[in-house]
Amino acid sequence: MNTHPEMIANALHFLIERQADQPGLAELALHLERSEAHVQKIFQAHVGLSPKQFLGMLTRERALARLKAGATVLDASLDSGLSGPGRLHDLLISTDALTPGEARRRGAGVDMQRGVGTTPFGPALLAWTTRGITFLGFTRNRGTPGSFRELEAQWPDARFIDDDQEADRRLDQVFSDSSDQPLKIWLRGSPFQLKVWEALLSIPPGYHASYGQLAARLGRESASRAVGTAIGRNPISWLIPCHRVITRSGTLGGYRWGLATKQAMIGVEASRESAQEPAPLELSSQSATRSAASSGAGTVAGSSAR
């Protein structure tokens, strides 16, 4: 069994809970009961940055910068239209909504599999049918029984079949960076909720949007509260990235599955995006002189990752 997701989840939550103390690698390794070298290697492989650099991604100043950048990206994405399947960057998300008749039946006649498995953000409850994933929620904050109640309230008349082993396999696919298989999701919500959830797919990893920005871009400038309610009822966390929505002041706002989990997601995505940006090319003064002399250029410029 791959224990890395569980270790990463414990590391992320420890760092977030102790953020004010700025714990170092030695303290994190002691908490995880692993060597410092092992923790550094596994953490950087999964998150993209070191634990210390990860903590730097959690500041309010960084959040505000991502919010400012996200406004431009969101405008471009929404101006291009919100129809058909959405592309969530590295993961291909194929969305399918219930018909009005199916929605009225509240899941009657639907056989739905469900189970709890491990993820980099803690244990999660996953539910799915042959038409796609119907629910993904984290159990760390609400507990497993609470997550089961959330699922059953959403699909009150469905027939549930428990399968933790298959849930663990599917969750590995959901959170795998290398997955290139289409992930189908099957959504049950009002037309307004579906429109909000689809808009969330336009916010890329490493960027933020505020509740007000989403409301304005959906033509509902005065409906920030309604947009926030729809975001809070998102049934498929991570894949429909409601964690990328924060307040306009740079604070986290709310999150159905706990603010520590939301902050862990934000920090991981910001770290991975930062790790993909090329480092500026640094040359010694002698090397720079030789390079300038041979090329006729006086400066060396790095390229942007985007």
Task: Give the residue numbers annotated as catalytic, written as ranges.
Answer: 242
**Which residue do the tokens 């509902």 mark?**
220
Burial class (CB in 10 A: 0-12, 13-18, 19+), 293: exposed
Q: What is the DSSP letter of 204?
A: -
Buried b (16+ CB within 10 A) or exposed e, 238-265: bbbbbbbbbbeebebbebbbbebbbbbb
- The DSSP result for 43-79, as a single string, is HHHHHSS-HHHHHHTTSHHHHHHHHHHHHHHHHHHHH
Please check whether residue 120 is in contact with residue 175, taking contact to mean a CB–CB distance below 8 angstroms: yes
How much of the chain is in helix, strand and coil states, percent to nearest 5?
A: 50, 15, 35
